[in-house]
Amino acid sequence: MRSARRRAREFALQGLYQWQLAGTPASVIENQLAESAGFEKIDTDYFHKLLSGAISAQGEIEPVVARYVDRPLQELSPVERGILLLAGFELRQQMEVPYRVIINEAVELAKTFGGTDGHKYVNGVLDKMAAELRPMEMHRATS
């Protein structure tokens, strides 16, 4: 059974996908997704924080992502780009969530919504991002 936070991440990813393709404002996306089946089962506060936070912090997160991908960000699929933006926001801003949880959740999103081997790509990029954004936490986990 998926947790309310996992469901919040799934809906936030759907919102980021729509935002990337159509440029729809976050508030409009939130209202549209709130009418979707299953929305009542999510952590709505976390969903709002993820969607609005990832969109507003895009300018700070994408340069970090760009350092660790092997192609221009515009060439990533919207799903992979959305997952990396979402997880990048969590790594930067949600310090109460362990980096391993963030990476695992992102990998699960990639397995569910991404391409065949997208989860491996996402995992590799996020490992490098976590080393930059959470060096002390990673050091404690590996020592």
Number of Cβ within 10 Å of residue 84's Cβ equals: 28
pLDDT digits (tens, 9 = 90+) for 13-68: 999 999 999 999 999 999 999 999 999 999 999 999 999 999 999 999 999 999 99
Distance CA 142, CA 60 (A): 27
Torsion of CA 105, 107, 109, 113, to 10 degrees: 180
Q: Give the HSE-up count for residue 17: Cα atoms under 13 Å, Cβ half-sphere.
A: 16
Fill in the DSSP letter of residue 42: S
The full set of domains in the chain, from first to last, is: 4-142 (1.10.940.10)
Distance CA 87, CA 132 (A): 13
What integer best gives the mean pLDDT of the chain?
Answer: 94
pTM for this model (two decimals): 0.94
Number of Cβ within 10 Å of residue 62's Cβ equals: 16
Q: What share of the chain is helix, strand, coil (3-state, %, to 5)?
A: 80, 0, 20
pLDDT of residue 143: 65
Model confidence at 131: pLDDT above 90: yes
